[in-house]
Amino acid sequence: MPIKKGQRLISEGRVIEPLQDTIVQIPVYEDYVIQKTKSDSNFFDYLRAKAYRRKWTKEIHNIIIKEPSKTIDYMPVLQMKNAEAQYLHYDQAVIRKIKIKKIKVFGATLEDPDRDPPYFLGRLGNRIHIHTRDWVIRRFFLFGEGEKLDPYQIAETERILRAEPYIEDVRINVYPVDSLMDSVDLEIVVKDNWAKGIAVSTANLEDMYLNVWDNNMLGTGQTFDNEYFKDDKILPQSGINGFYNLNNVLGSFVNCRISYEAFGNQSYGIRLWRDFFTQTTRYAGELLYEDKNLYYSRLFNDTLQSWIYYPLRYRQFNTWVGRAFSFSPGIFTTHSNLSYAAGLYYRRFYQRPYVNQQYRYQLHNRTFFLNSITFSSLGHYKSNLIYSYGRTEDIPYGILINYTTGIEYNEFKRRFYHSLSTVMGNNVGQLGFGYINAAIGGFVRQDKWEQSVLKLNLYFFSNLLVAGRYKARNFVNLSFVKGFNRNYDERLNINNFSGVRGYFNDTAMGNKKLTINFESVLFTPIRINDFRVAFFGFVDLAWIDYLHARLLENPMFSGIGVGLRIRNERLVIKTFQLRLVYYPNRQATTLGDLFVVSPEWRFHTPDMNIKSPQIIEYQ
């Protein structure tokens, strides 16, 4: 890489500012940024050298001229690259030793692990923070000492660790033992989050949702999460709910969750599950039991044309198991697999409002037997400044095709179910990254389709636009949903994140809808004690067939807004968001939160992981 005099090269772990034009060798997998040095630096260096020759001119110089800060404040851009690329050079080398290096939560970065925070609370936090235990980290390793290095397993281990809520970032460094590179040592550099968090959400400064949690109790990776709410618009008007998570039990990648709800609605549940967490995972499954006693369940009453609260009590039992067959090289990525899964889903109501065969399907007593066959070819790119404010992000790409079939034993009827879905994603040249998601499914009874749905979704985010120290990215989401032969009380809406964020209109309900969401995010260099600031603007558009059969003949609902988001990647608190919205066609019967303080985030990458057999949701 040619570097000219007057330029600065910042790469992973080094800063080079040559005195003359030179060439620097940079590995293809290493990220870097080139900056111009200040053109006036030579002049001030010359002035300083002259002034420091005499004591009195030195004192005058120090009074008039302020030395520039030696700290380089920048947001390095991680170029989007295949997660396995940097490890291919060491393929099949024997892993001799594995060392875990844990760096400070505040101040330090993967590029500068010894940096101390410039503020007292950061230094205090580093002193009292309990790092994730070594044995917790090692349970996620997909490799071991004495084994041959597999670039895919190394990259997947890094991704899986990074996905844990108590870890901010991970980097696996490979060091050859000798020049032959047939033996290597691995260094696992782990940077924790500050595991304890608190989040407050309010739309009118009267209602409040308070969430308090610890995602890494005593460094064991266990999670305890509780939420208290007070909201006069719902029943119960206050309450508490929470859960306890035991993650990756004994290194089996089996997770356990115990959940509860009290002081109003009352419920408890326990869930054991194991995901298809990589393309080489062979077995997955779930066991779920829930007992819910909901004194206040909000349901729509068609006779009164309004929302009514009903008591609701039911028990639910779900179980499924899946087996995947992996093959390499994959068709679209390094690994592909073909999986089969079968599940039983049971729900029984003991207290509920009136139901019939065509009314309130969600409250029917029913038992599902579902089977699914899935082809998946999935890989990941690494990048940053997409949904986070600098940490490494793993972006899935590839293809997933799923066919699900089964039988439902309903208290009113027996019928079969069929669905077909696919999701595809990859980079779109110089434009950015795009996904296509399509799904169609429904029930068949007496050779007739019923409660069917068609869903189409296009999702896109642009490449990062860089203007000096400012970076910007654009997001576009287009979604179409249409129901066929649905029950008369099953209707779509465009409320809030179903269409126009912060907008609520219970009269605009129909059988098909089209939503288009635009958002632009500007990542700024503003940094206050590791809190970074980003500004955003958005436009939400939605059509629904609540007046006319032809979709676009109906009025367009829209929301236009701006806001800012503040996030500290060192903390596990959610992104703090301040939002102002204008609704051009707001009606008297609608609600719209014009001013919102919340931790919510709207856009997300489509899920491309293999899931349990399930029906396509109508929403």
| Range of lowest pLDDT (134-138, 516-520, 567-571, 593-597) | 593-597
Q: For residues 374 and 426, what is the distance between their CA atoms, to the nearest angstrom?
A: 19
Interval 566-572 mean pLDDT: 78
Q: Which among 56, 280, 46 is positioned nearest to 156, based on CA atoms?
A: 280
Strand, helix or coil for residue 153? helix
CB 132 within 8 A of CB 105: no
pTM metric for this prediction: 0.82
pLDDT of 40 reads 43
Q: What is the CA radius of gyration of the chain?
A: 28
Q: For residues 87 and 185, what is the distance between their CA atoms, to the nearest angstrom?
A: 13
Return the percentage of the chain with pLDDT > 90, whole number: 53
pLDDT of 72 reads 46
pLDDT of 197 reads 82
DSSP H/E element including 446: none
62-113 pLDDT tens trace: 556 555 444 444 456 666 778 888 898 899 999 999 999 999 998 888 888 8
Q: Where are the domains of the chain?
A: 2-64, 81-192, 275-306+411-598
237-265 pLDDT tens trace: 788 999 999 999 999 999 999 999 988 78
Mean pLDDT for all residues in the chain: 85
Residue 292 identity (one-letter amino acid):
K
580 pLDDT band (50/70/90 cuts)? confident
pLDDT of 55 reads 61
Please say if the pLDDT value at position 597 is more than 70. Answer: no
Please say if the pLDDT value at position 317 is more than 90. Answer: yes
434-463 pLDDT tens trace: 999 999 999 999 999 999 999 999 999 999
CATH code assigned to 81-192: 3.10.20.310
Residues 6+ apart with CB under 8 A from 291: 267, 268, 269, 315
pLDDT of 71 reads 44
pLDDT of 569 reads 77
Interval 483-508 mean pLDDT: 88
210 pLDDT band (50/70/90 cuts)? confident
Interval 540-553 mean pLDDT: 92
pLDDT of 68 reads 47
280-292 pLDDT tens trace: 999 999 999 999 9
pLDDT of 39 reads 46
Interval 374-391 mean pLDDT: 89
Q: Which residues is 484 bridged to in the sheet? A: 452
Return the percentage of the chain with pLDDT > 70, whole number: 82
485 pLDDT band (50/70/90 cuts)? very high
57 pLDDT band (50/70/90 cuts)? low
Q: For residues 538 and 536, what is the distance between their CA atoms, to the nearest angstrom?
A: 7
Q: Which among 218, 72, 92 is positioned nearest to 150, based on CA atoms?
A: 92
